[in-house]
Structure 1
Amino acid sequence: MNYIVFDLELTCWEGDMAGRFQEIIEIGAYKIDPYGHIQSQFSKFVKPVMYPILSPFCSKLTSITQEMITQAKPFKQVIKEFMDWAEIDIEPHYLIAWGDKDLDYLKADCLLHKIDTEWISSYTDLKKQYQKVKKLYEPKGLKHATESEGLEFEGTLHRAIDDAYNLTRIFTKYFGEWNLHKIN
């Protein structure tokens, strides 16, 4: 069993994004073994196809530059590398992210690129799980949750690999307390 703790960064614009398809531009993830230990990490940029030019807002928010994206591989290639790294076809797995939006964006990008989404069926929203474990009235953002645990947020907020790392720290701290489930 592998636990794949991941985060995505997406194309974005200031103000109303209605009618604009947000594509994945970065995937950051950590593979956790059945004992709660980090095994490896995955970090790749993705070249978007619908909106290949990043907005100034997106670059400022994520610190991802146009050059990083221009030099990146297309989604189809990066997601195959991600699936190979995560051993999706070899080991049972759970995908774990902070909130349910990453699941939606991952599925949407897979559908856009005609990639089967069955492998995404084991997914847990750790934001909701954290709210239950900590008995919080309302959910907290990742940075707030990290700091609430007495941990300093490490890295740059809104960078997938850094957000995934901080999420991994919370996940492993309460390893064994999460109610992981399969969704279909």
Structure 2
Amino acid sequence: MHYIVFDMEFNQDFSSLQDTVKKWSKYPFEIIQIGAVKLDSDFIRVASFNRFVKPTIYGKVSSFITELTGITTEQLVKEQAFPEVYKHFVEFIRDPDSVFCIWGMSDIKELFKNVEYHNLDSKCLPKKYINIQPYVSKYFGLPTKNLLRLQNAVEALHIPVIYSFHNAFFDACYTAEILKKINSPSIEPCFYDPSYVPVKPRQHKREIDYDKLIQQFEKMYARKISKVEQEMIKLAYHMGKTRQFLK
């Protein structure tokens, strides 16, 4: 069994959208870099993967992403598009029984979304994964909802900062080092189902007790509230709930 520790950089720039036929909700964050390291069962690195991706969903890299990652549109023009890079990534993984290791859930979610967008086969991708981020919080005795940034985790674990952050390959290397540091029997792979949609609990409809509301106003003003005033209070309450008068 191998661990595939991977990270990705994404781009989304609707001002340069290439295909305007699909609904906006169908457009994923487009992958522009895939970085990964393959570890054996003893957490020894046996292979590496680092590829940039030519954008085809959006025509250019947004200025925010360029500032964050250093990746420019001009840099990516000469690269292969996602279907070709994905083919090489699958060859790098080789074994679908491997375990994906990620820092946060966004990378694995967007990977499957990009695969679906390009009508590619996802069966060759591992379905087992370990999200390392909450385990780091647990390692430091923090609530698992209190998630640390990658750089903060690296520094807290005294891992040498050799590379810059917000580079998919370098971030994958850091994530692999974190996994080695915190590894324990309690860290077990989960199963990822790209088609799973969490069901939101149905909220019970709550009604306003207008009688008590009016009684409160009568108590405040020490007098009876007229019918006209009651209707005004109810209307004001509803208008306040719409939040339309917030500055």
In the superposition, the TM-score normalised over structure 1's length comes to 0.89
Of the two, which has the highest radius of gyration? 2
Runs of at least 5 residues in structure 2 that lack an aligned partner in the other structure? 14-23, 194-247
CA distance in 2, matches of 1:49, 1:144: 33
Match of 1:71 in 2: 78
RMSD: 2.0
Match of 2:201 in 1: none
In structure 2, the CA distance between the partners of 1:158 and 1:174, relative to structure 1 (3 Å rule), is same
Residue pair 2:28, 2:114 contacting (<8 A) in 1 also: no
Query: Helix, strand or coil: the match of 1:30?
Result: strand
* Greater fraction strand: 1
CA distance in 2, matches of 1:80, 1:162: 21
2:175 equivalent among 167, 171, 174: 167
1:134 equivalent among 117, 136, 140: 140
In structure 2, the CA distance between the partners of 1:18 and 1:58, relative to structure 1 (3 Å rule), is farther
Asked if 1:124 is matched to 2:130, the reply is yes
Match of 2:107 in 1: 102
Deviation track 1:6-64 (CA, whole Å, cap 9, x = no partner) reads: 00000046xxx988631000000000001111111100001111102112221111111
Residue pair 2:28, 2:110 contacting (<8 A) in 1 also: no
Match of 2:151 in 1: 143
- Tell me the percent identity: 28
Asked if 1:32 is matched to 2:39, the reply is yes
Alignment coverage as a number of residue pairs: 179
The structure whose RCO (Cα within 8 Å, separation 6+) is larger is 1
Report how far residue 154 of structure 1 moved.
2.7
